[in-house]
């Protein structure tokens, strides 16, 4: 029996081949190999619009290696008869751990202290790092990743609050749900966990940053489009924000001359929050399993277009 052909838009690893063995033939990432593919296992390398779908005449399913699918035109997929899947569980552990690492690194001013050490500076300094015990963490969005971050923050002794329009005001474990404006006004650290949609585009801009307490920190491991980077720079330049840590930016990557990259109170990592060895394997495996389920007519994690 002929195995179905799956296009993968990144380099195919030995782990990928082992997971697919006997079930599907993997090709890619060279676009010249597109014809004949019934499934595409994708990251964020390409925009999947009508033109791109037209280049996959046999395609049945596009399966995202991750949660967000903002690089997929769901309407164009539907018009082409292509199912869209995502893998909401796959990146949760790695991304939550990376978020926590950024929270700790920026509030403890590790870039600044590393720079001091490299300069040969030592001895006591005026203490400006934030002690997280009793500080407030505000989670914007309370999905799988945010809940893991919240649990870790609670273990550190932080008060954790969250704003999520998809949830009612009932507490989630020890996390208290509040309105976004109230969260921004109260949080020493704001961590973003919202999807990229028209409603969330630049949801953190001048007014929102001004509402945050003086000396607060902003962390974003969700999507770069959530934050107005010009407004963020102004908030940092004025001293209103103490620091920021970003795994995602807009554009991505930032130009090497971008002023956010040249600050010792900003940490930027290149969209690698989910890129542990285990996380990378899970991303592919969940996306592959979804795609194979669609091709074989079994239940899968399918994205439903908004009405």
Tell me: do 136 and 105 sit in the same domain. yes
Tell me: do 281 and 198 sit in the same domain. no
CB atoms within 10 A of CB 48: 24
Print burial letters for 231-249: b (CB count within 10 Å at least 16), e (below 16).
bbbebbeeeebbbbbbbbb
In the beta sheet, which residues pair with residue 71?
A: none
CATH number, domain of 182, equals: 3.40.50.720
| Structural domain contains residue 115 | yes
pLDDT tens digits, one per residue of 46-102: 899 999 999 999 999 999 999 989 899 999 999 999 999 999 999 999 999 999 999
The number of folded domains in the chain is: 2
| Structural domain contains residue 306 | no
| Structural domain contains residue 29 | yes
Tell me: do 120 and 63 sit in the same domain. no
| Structural domain contains residue 117 | yes
Residue written as token pair 């807009």: 250
What is the predicted pLDDT for the residue at 305?
60
Is 252 a residue of the active site?
yes
Average of per-residue pLDDT values in the chain: 93
Is pLDDT of 306 > 60?
no
Tell me: do 82 and 97 sit in the same domain. no
Is pLDDT of 32 > 70?
no
Of the listed 52, 147, 223, 280, which one is catalytic?
Answer: 223
Where helices occur in 31-131 by DSSP H, the ranges are 50-54, 74-79, 92-107, 110-118
Tell me: do 133 and 11 sit in the same domain. no
Is pLDDT of 184 > 50?
yes
| Structural domain contains residue 208 | yes
| Structural domain contains residue 163 | yes
- Of the candidates 43, 42, 275, 68, the residue with the CA atom closest to the CA atom of residue 192: 68
DSSP 242: E
User: Do residues 26 and 8 touch, judged by C-beta distance below 8 A?
Assistant: yes
Tell me: do 37 and 155 sit in the same domain. no
What is the predicted pLDDT for the residue at 1?
62
Residue 68, judged by CB atoms within 10 A of its CB (0-12, 13-18, 19+), counts as: middle
Tell me: do 98 and 114 sit in the same domain. yes
Residue written as token pair 């940053």: 209
pLDDT tens digits, one per residue of 261-304: 999 999 999 999 998 999 999 999 999 999 999 999 999 999 97
Give the pTM.
0.87
pLDDT band at 139; cut points 50, 70, 90 = very high
Rounded Cα–Cα distance for residues 73 and 102 (Å): 31
Tell me: do 223 and 104 sit in the same domain. yes
What is the predicted pLDDT for the residue at 33?
62
Query: What are the C-alpha distances in Å from 181 to residues 77, 149, 162, 194, 238?
Result: 36, 21, 11, 15, 21
Tell me: do 115 and 44 sit in the same domain. no
Of the listed 252, 258, 263, 285, which one is catalytic?
Answer: 252
What is the predicted pLDDT for the residue at 307?
41
Rounded Cα–Cα distance for residues 59 and 190 (Å): 41
User: Do residues 225 and 198 touch, judged by C-beta distance below 8 A?
Assistant: no
Query: What are the C-alpha distances in Å from 68 to residues 5, 194, 196, 238?
Result: 24, 10, 7, 33
Of the listed 271, 280, 282, 286, which one is catalytic?
Answer: 271
Please give the backbone phi and psi of residue 7, each rounded to the nearest 5 degrees, phi first: -85, 135
- Of the candidates 139, 132, 148, the residue with the CA atom closest to the CA atom of residue 192: 139
Is 271 a residue of the active site?
yes
Please give the backbone phi and psi of residue 163, each rounded to the nearest 5 degrees, phi first: -125, 125
User: Do residues 218 and 106 touch, judged by C-beta distance below 8 A?
Assistant: no
Tell me: do 86 and 96 sit in the same domain. no
Rounded Cα–Cα distance for residues 99 and 274 (Å): 10
Please give the backbone phi and psi of residue 2, each rounded to the nearest 5 degrees, phi first: -70, 135
| Structural domain contains residue 102 | yes
Is 223 a residue of the active site?
yes
Tell me: do 221 and 146 sit in the same domain. yes
| Structural domain contains residue 229 | yes
Tell me: do 118 and 225 sit in the same domain. yes
- Of the candidates 13, 86, 63, 97, the residue with the CA atom closest to the CA atom of residue 295: 63
Structural domain boundaries enclosing 58 = 5-90+276-295
pLDDT tens digits, one per residue of 223-255: 999 999 999 999 999 999 999 999 999 999 999
Average pLDDT (197-210) is 96
């Amino acid at each position: 029996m002929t195995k179905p052909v799956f296009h993968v838009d990144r380099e195919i690893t030995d782990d990928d081949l082992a997971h697919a063995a006997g079930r599907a033939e993997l090709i890619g990432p060279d676009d010249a190999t597109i014809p004949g593919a019934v499934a595409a296992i994708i990251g964020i390398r390409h925009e999947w619009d009508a033109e791109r779908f037209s280049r996959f005449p046999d395609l049945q399913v596009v399966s995202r290696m991750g949660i967000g699918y903002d690089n997929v035109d769901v309407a164009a997929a539907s018009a082409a008869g292509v199912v869209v899947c995502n893998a909401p569980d796959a990146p949760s552990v790695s991304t939550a751990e990376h978020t926590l690492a950024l929270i700790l690194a920026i509030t403890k001013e590790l870039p600044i202290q590393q720079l001091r050490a490299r300069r040969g500076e030592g001895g006591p300094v005026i203490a400006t790092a934030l002690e997280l015990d009793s500080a407030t963490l505000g989670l914007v969005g309370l999905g799988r990743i945010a809940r893991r971050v919240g649990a870790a923050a609670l273990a550190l002794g932080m008060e954790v609050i969250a704003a999520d329009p998809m949830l009612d005001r009932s507490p989630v474990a020890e996390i208290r749900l509040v309105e976004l404006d109230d969260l921004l006004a109260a949080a020493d650290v704001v961590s973003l966990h919202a999807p990229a949609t028209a409603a969330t585009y630049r949801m953190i801009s001048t007014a929102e940053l001004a509402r945050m307490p003086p000396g607060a920190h902003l962390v974003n491991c969700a999507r770069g489009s959530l934050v107005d980077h010009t407004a963020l720079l102004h908030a940092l330049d004025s001293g209103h924000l103490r620091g920021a840590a970003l795994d995602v930016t807009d554009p991505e990557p930032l130009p090497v001359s971008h002023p956010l990259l040249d600050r010792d109170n900003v940490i930027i990592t290149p969209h690698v929050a989910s890129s542990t060895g285990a996380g990378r394997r899970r991303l592919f495996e969940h996306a592959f399993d979804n795609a194979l389920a669609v091709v074989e007519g079994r239940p899968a994690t399918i994205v439903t277009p908004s009405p």
